[in-house]
Amino acid sequence: MQKIYSNLLVLAAMVMVFASCTDDPEPNNPVTISGIPPTETIPAGGTVGPVTATITAQDGLASFSITKDGTSIANVTLNGEPSVQQVFSYTATPADAGKNLVFEFTATDRDGSSAKVTHVLTVQAAETTVRVTSNISGKVTWTADKTYVLGGRIFIVSGGELTIEAGTVIKGEVGSGPNATALIVARGGKIFANGTASAPIIFTSVADEIESGMVASPNLDPTINGLWGGLIVLGRAPGSFAGDVTEVQIEGIPPSDTNGLYGGNIPDDNSGVIKFISIRHGGANIGEGNEINGLTLGGVGSATVIENVEVIANQDDGVEWFGGTVDVKNVIVWNAGDDAIDTDQAWAGTLDNFIVICGTETDHALEIDGPEGSMIDGHTVKNGTVIGNAVAELGDFRDGANGTFENIYFFGFTDPAVNGGRGDLSVSGDKSLANFASGALAFNSLEVTSPAGVLLTTVFRNGTHVHASDVALHQNTIGATKAAFAGWSWTAVAGNLNALK
C-alpha cells in the first residue's frame, strides 16, 4: 500500500506540473521605439527634426504619446498595427532659450506592454548681437531683442525689403574710406523702419553702449562724430543733374558700386517708410572732403513716408536731399559738422516742422543749392526753429537756389559785422538773386532775435529783410512745434527744447 501511495503522489505531481505548463499565459512580446536620437542641440528659435520614429509591437499597437518636461504635447490612438512610423519635429519658443528640454516618447500595445524613449533637446541662449556683412535681398526683419552691427556698406538691393521693429538698435562699426559702414536703400529696395514715440529706432556707433529702451547714450557725448557712416535712401524719382542725365552716383559711395546710383523718371517712387528714428555719431570720411550725411535722400519718390527723424553729431550734413520728390516731416538736427539742412539738384518736396541746433562745427543751418540741369523744380521748407551760435550762419542760398522758405524763427546767432560775416542769411550768385527777384526763390514770415544793436538788414541780406521781423527772445509767433519731438528724441530728453515755445 505504501508503494501505491507513493506512485499516486508521483502521478499527482506530474499532473500538477502538466497542468501548470498548459495553463500559464503566453509571455508578452516587447514594444520597441527606434529613430529618436538621445540628444540634440539647436539655436534659439531653431527646429529639431523632422525625425521619424519607428514603433513596433507584435501584439499590436494601441497608443503613442509624447510629453515635454512632463506635459503632454501629443497623443495618438493606434488600431493594432504591428508597426507604425510617427514623424516628430519641434520649434523652440522664446521661453525655451538657454534650457534643456526633456521629451519622452511612450508606445503601448494592446496587451499593456510599453516602451519609453527619452530625448534631451538643448536650446542655445538667444543671440543678442547680429553682425550684418551681406546685402539684403528678399524680405528680412530686424527685431528689437537684438542689436544689429553693420560690418560694412550694407545695401537693401532692388527687390529687397528690410523691416526694422520699433525699439531696435543698429550700430555701425568704425571705418573710413572704403571701409566706412552705412545702411543704404538702393533703387528698387525698401525699408520699413517703423519706430514709435515710445520706442524709437536708433542708428549709432558700436562705441555707443546704448540698448533698446534707452534714448540718451550712456557713454557718448552728443558732439562725437565720424564714428561710422549713416543712412542713405536712393530712389528713382527725377532730379536736376548736370548734363541732364537721368541718374548719378550718390556722394559717399565709391563710383565702382552701382548700387549707389539714384534718379530716374518715377516721381511717386516708393522706398518704404521711416518713422521715429535717431541717427547719431556718423559721417565717416570716405575720401578727401567726402563724408556721409546723417540721412541722405537721393532721388527719393513721393510715395516714401519719412517723418520724425533726429540726426545728432554727424560729421557732415544732418539731412541732405539730392533731387527727388519726397516730403519730410518733423526733423531735428543737433551738432551737425557741416550743414544742418542741405538741399540740392531741384528737390521738389516739402520739409515741414524742423528744429536745428547748431554745434561748434556747424557751417550753415540752411544750405540751399539750385538745380544742376534744365529741370528747375523748387521745394518748400517751413515751420522751423533754428538755434545758432558764434560760428554758424543762418543760411546760404546759392547756385540758382529756388523754392519757398517760410515761418522760420532764428535766434542765438552773433553779429555778422564782428564775426567775419557769420551769423547772417544771404542770397548769393546772379541766378539766385534773379530767382529772388522773380519770386522763384521766396521768403515769407521769417523772425529773428538779433544780437543787441544789430540791424535786421545786417542779419537778412540782399533784400530778404523785407520778409523778416525782429522779436524778443522766445517771443516768436512762428517756428517749429516742439511737442513733435518730446520723449523719443535725445535732443528733447537732454533738455535742449525746454526754452522753446
Q: How many CB atoms lie within 10 A of CB 68?
A: 16
Is 270 in the same domain as 394? yes
| Residue 1, in any domain of the structure | no
Q: Which of 331, 328, 226 is nearest to 280 (CA)?
A: 226
| Residue 7, in any domain of the structure | no
Cell 530686424 -> residue: 142
Cell of 97: 532659450
| Residue 54, in any domain of the structure | yes
Longest dimension (CA), the chain: 152
Is 178 in the same domain as 250? yes
| Residue 90, in any domain of the structure | yes
| Residue 501, in any domain of the structure | no
Is 398 in the same domain as 255? yes
Is 246 in the same domain as 374? yes
pLDDT given for residue 12 in this prediction: 30
Strand order in the sheet with 425-427: 153-156, 182-185, 231-234, 295-298, 319-322, 339-344, 364-369, 393-398, 425-427
Is 480 in the same domain as 455? yes
Task: Compute mean pLDDT per 10 residues along the chain, 501 residues long, and list them.
Answer: 29 30 60 95 93 95 96 95 95 94 96 95 92 97 97 96 98 85 97 98 98 97 96 98 96 84 98 98 79 95 98 97 98 98 98 97 97 96 97 96 98 90 92 96 98 95 97 96 97 95 83
C-alpha–C-alpha distance, residues 26 and 146, integer Å? 62
| Residue 9, in any domain of the structure | no
Which domain range does residue 64 map to? Answer: 31-123
| Residue 341, in any domain of the structure | yes
Is 87 in the same domain as 205? no
C-alpha–C-alpha distance, residues 319 and 53, integer Å? 60
pLDDT given for residue 291 in this prediction: 80
Q: How many domains does the chain fold into?
A: 2
Last residue of some domain: 123, 143, 161?
123
Is 89 in the same domain as 221? no
pLDDT given for residue 26 in this prediction: 57
Cell of 342: 542741405
Last residue of some domain: 107, 123, 139?
123
Q: Which of 81, 82, 88 is nearest to 104 (CA)?
A: 88
pLDDT given for residue 19 in this prediction: 34
- The CATH number given to whatever domain includes residue 42 is 2.60.40.10
Bond before 50 cis per omega within 30 degrees:
yes
Is 245 in the same domain as 221? yes
User: What per-residue string of b and e applies to 388-421 under the rule 16 or more CB within 10 Å gives b?
Assistant: bbebbbbbbbbbbbbbbbbbbbbbbbbbbeebee
DSSP string, 94-161: GGGTT-EEEEEEEEEETTS-EEEEEEEEEEPPPP-EEEE-S-B-SEEEE-TTSEEEE-SEEEE-TT-E
pTM across the whole model: 0.82
